[in-house]
Structure 1
Amino acid sequence: MISLSSRFSQRNLLLFRLTLCRHFPGFSRRGPSRRRDPVAELYDIENMPVYEFDAMTKPGFDIFLAQQEVRNYLRKTKYELPQLSKFAEEFIPPSPTSILCFKNSYYIGESSPIQNKVVLTIELHSIKALLTQKQLHKFVLLCGPRFNGIEFKFSCDKFPHTNQNKKYLSDLVDKLLEEAKVKDDKFEDIPMDTRHIEKRLKKKKLRGLKFPVEWYRPPAKDTKVKT
């Protein structure tokens, strides 16, 4: 076999190599004069294996991650929860002077903006113990639609932390109580607006309605299709 160096001159050999590199890029990377890059060889399109459609799909991988998360919680339930029994405390019911009831939601394993929201409820009988009849009437007028006839309900999610929202609601109730005790104007001539209460009760009644028996169709005597 005759070598290329014996048939062509040095200049023609160089031109021949440039032509091969132009038409076959892999020839220049695998040439003896260039150093191989392991990363480039790994992600080279020419070196990629043929896809056999045997890899895990995206839905299957999501199921795998969900199962892995469940197994993680099961391990915590078995090995970590029994260790928390030594920190258990006896339940002490709230005292009659504790009239504020805070509620907030918490999602395990994920973050949600709803976790920062705090809902404050106050029973009507708790407010009656702090105010007179005239002061209670003014307090109800100041609360407006936040009073549903049974309890007062306030919510706040304007701050990034739960404690900040709790403090805001607590200060808001204190301001309402102070304003209700002001003797300048008791708003005795203004009646309480109960439209939102009546609307809520009406919706509650409509949910309990049943289909009238008189509207039922009598069963057909002959249901067979005539052929």
Structure 2
Amino acid sequence: MISPSFRFSQRNLPLFRLTLCRYFPTFSRRGPSRRRDPEAELYDIENMPVYEFDAMTKPGFDIFLAQQEVRNYLRKTKYELPQLSKLAEEFVPPSPTSILCFKNSYYIGESSPIQKKVVLTIELHSIKALLTQKQLHKFVLLCGPRFNGKEFKFSCDKFPHANQNKKYLSDLVDKLLEEAKNDDDKFEDIPMDTRHMEKREY
């Protein structure tokens, strides 16, 4: 016989549902169904044709890519290089007063401390056109071992940028020329030292 405390009645039925029953949602958590692409079935491993060793190999494909790259450069040679003639400028030789020749090095793709170094060379005949014989003798004495008998050679790498070193050498030559033209002391009694020239010959 069921105890009166467990009898279902209209009064305790809602309490029984809240305590002993669990609510389950009716909607599904799965997303919408996806239809399979018919083109994907063509590349399915089960539907692939039997390999008969008639496809392009890896070395052959590399040759194909190399030929494609060469054709690309040939097209540029034919259609793009002729357009550069519009930007060509006529070569104008330097004037007789431009006697300075600067040289510096560049390294593509990497940085090097040699890039900031600038070398300046001046031909002897260029200096002779600017100075007299006595002034040239004084200029040679001021340059010292930087004169090798044929040209004057200066170098500088004390500044972090090549343009700064170039400006320093240019100003240095201007000061040497100014001092050589100064007639207060002509250095006529001082002989020219050629020991460094003789050492280079050996």
TM bracket (short chain): 0.5 to 0.7
* Cα deviation, residue 87, structure 1: 3.2
Normalized against structure 1, the TM-score is what? 0.52
- C-alpha distance after superposition, 1:165-198 (max 9, x if no partner): 1110010000001111111111111110000101
Bigger CA drift: 14-23 or 144-153? 14-23
CA contact (8 A) 1:29 1:36 kept: no
Quickly say closer, same or farther: Cα 1:119–1:32, change in 2 above 3 A.
same
Instruction: Give 5+ residue unaligned stretches, structure 2.
Output: none
> Equivalents in 2 of 1:13, 1:59: separation in Å?
81
CA contact (8 A) 1:124 1:151 kept: yes
Quickly say closer, same or farther: Cα 1:32–1:91, change in 2 above 3 A.
closer
- C-alpha distance after superposition, 1:145-165 (max 9, x if no partner): 000000000011111111111
Bigger relative contact order, structure 1 or 2 (CA pairs below 8 A, ≥6 apart)? 2
> Equivalents in 1 of 2:23, 2:59: separation in Å?
41
Instruction: Give 5+ residue unaligned stretches, structure 1.
Output: 201-227
CA contact (8 A) 1:28 1:34 kept: no
> Equivalents in 2 of 1:56, 1:4: separation in Å?
88
Bigger CA drift: 11-20 or 49-58? 11-20
> Equivalents in 2 of 1:4, 1:139: separation in Å?
131
Quickly say closer, same or farther: Cα 1:122–1:137, change in 2 above 3 A.
same
> Equivalents in 2 of 1:89, 1:126: separation in Å?
27
Quickly say closer, same or farther: Cα 1:87–1:48, change in 2 above 3 A.
same
Bigger CA drift: 38-47 or 68-77? 38-47
> Equivalents in 2 of 1:190, 1:48: separation in Å?
96
- C-alpha distance after superposition, 1:108-140 (max 9, x if no partner): 121111111111111111111111111110100
CA contact (8 A) 1:102 1:118 kept: yes
* Seq. identity, %: 93
Instruction: Please give the residue correspondences for 1:4-19 in structure 2 after superposition, counting only pairs within 5 Å.
Output: none
Bigger CA drift: 174-183 or 141-150? 174-183
CA contact (8 A) 1:4 1:13 kept: no
Q: Which runs of 4+ in 1 moved over 6 A?
A: 1-83
Q: Secondary structure at the match of 1:29?
A: coil
Instruction: Please give the residue correspondences for 1:87-98 in structure 2 after superposition, counting only pairs within 5 Å.
Output: 87-98=87-98
> Equivalents in 1 of 2:92, 2:170: separation in Å?
22
Say how many residue pairs are matched.
200
* Cα deviation, residue 98, structure 1: 0.7
Q: Secondary structure at the match of 2:11?
A: helix
Instruction: Please give the residue correspondences for 1:59-208 in structure 2 after superposition, counting only pairs within 5 Å.
Output: 86-200=86-200
Quickly say closer, same or farther: Cα 1:9–1:66, change in 2 above 3 A.
farther
